[in-house]
Amino acid sequence: MIVNRDVLEAEFVPSEILHRHSEIEHLSAVLDPLQSGGRVDGALLYGPTGTGKTCTSQWLLERLEQQHDDIHTTHIDCWSNSSRAAVLHRLNEAVNGPERTRLTRSSPADEIVRKLKHDLEQPFVVILDEADQVEEEVVLYELYETPNVTTLLIANDDAEFFAPLADRVGSRLTTLPRLEFPAYEPDELVSILEERADHGLRPDAIGPDCLEVIARTADGDARVAIGILRNAAEKARATGADRISNEIVLEVA
């Protein structure tokens, strides 16, 4: 039933991002000056969960890093790094590597900010994922003010997160370009699921009508859709079924 479990996991970064052409174009255009030695402040990416904000930005940064030896990138999950110190330490580790990090692990946050501002000579693009979880928002502003750091802020709700930020840490952050990631249409989810099923499941393990049931149930959220596919595949395996049926899908959805 399952031939490659990895591609059914939420953390998997697909080699091909479907239905995000305009978002990829827009973000590429925003980051384009980096390719010719220019500076980019960053961008705000927002939209409901499971709309590809994380995978699209990671996919794009991986490519940027591969194409340019002097551009470096990292991804920081602000759910698990919500304090100013945690964000700055993760960034410091990413910039300086494990060797230097050992020496600077105890560096106070202020010292890290100072060093990034003065010592960072090459572009460093950082995804601050789930940025609405950051408790000390001043760090968002500090990174914005750091010349060679480009910050991609990801949050669910534009108005809820970005608008009040203006009052708290200054309006300049809110002038960053904004990219909206809308919920997927059912047929878009079907093709995302097809791709995962092709790589993750035995041929013919699931039919198109069944993928459509999953897509409609997932309500625009690719994470939910892939989760249902994974659970249905496991249920089918556990019960010895050779195909995933609508009944199995409805049981696990």
Residues that bind ligand ADP in the complex, under the rule CB under 6 A: 10, 12, 14, 17-20, 49-55, 181, 192, 222-223, 226
Specify the residue, 52 or 123, whose C-beta has the smaller distance to ligand ADP. 52
The verdict on 57 binding Mg ion (CB under 5 A) reads no
The verdict on 54 binding Mg ion (CB under 5 A) reads yes
Cα–Cα nearest to 204, from 249, 241, 244, 231:
244
Tokens linked to 40: 């980019």
H or E segment and range at residue 128: strand 124-129
Specify the residue, 27 or 95, whose C-beta has the smaller distance to ligand ADP. 27
**Residue 100, amino acid:** R
Q: Shortest gap between Cβ of 16 and ligand ADP (angstroms)?
A: 7
Specify the residue, 142 or 188, whose C-beta has the smaller distance to ligand ADP. 188
Query: Apex CA 253: angle with CA 201 and CA 218, to 5°?
Result: 85
Q: Shortest gap between Cβ of 53 and ligand ADP (angstroms)?
A: 3
Contacted by 50, from ligand ADP, Mg ion, none: CB < 5 to 8 Å by type: ligand ADP
Q: Shortest gap between Cβ of 199 and ligand ADP (angstroms)?
A: 11
Burial class (CB in 10 A: 0-12, 13-18, 19+), 199: middle
**Residue 50, amino acid:** G
Specify the residue, 20 or 89, whose C-beta has the smaller distance to ligand ADP. 20
Nearest-angstrom CA–CA distance, 71 and 88: 19
Specify the residue, 144 or 181, whose C-beta has the smaller distance to ligand ADP. 181
Contacted by 55, from Mg ion, ligand ADP, none: CB < 5 to 8 Å by type: ligand ADP
Specify the residue, 54 or 148, whose C-beta has the smaller distance to ligand ADP. 54
Q: Shortest gap between Cβ of 129 and Mg ion (angstroms)?
A: 6
Q: Shortest gap between Cβ of 8 and ligand ADP (angstroms)?
A: 9
Q: Shortest gap between Cβ of 88 and ligand ADP (angstroms)?
A: 23
The verdict on 58 binding Mg ion (CB under 5 A) reads no
C-alpha dihedral sign at 203, 3, 50, 53 = negative
Place of tokens 């899908």: 249
155-190 burial, b at 16+ Cβ within 10 Å, e below that, comes to: bbebeebbeebeeebbeebbebeebebebbebebbb
Q: Which residues bind Mg ion (CB under 5 A)?
A: 54
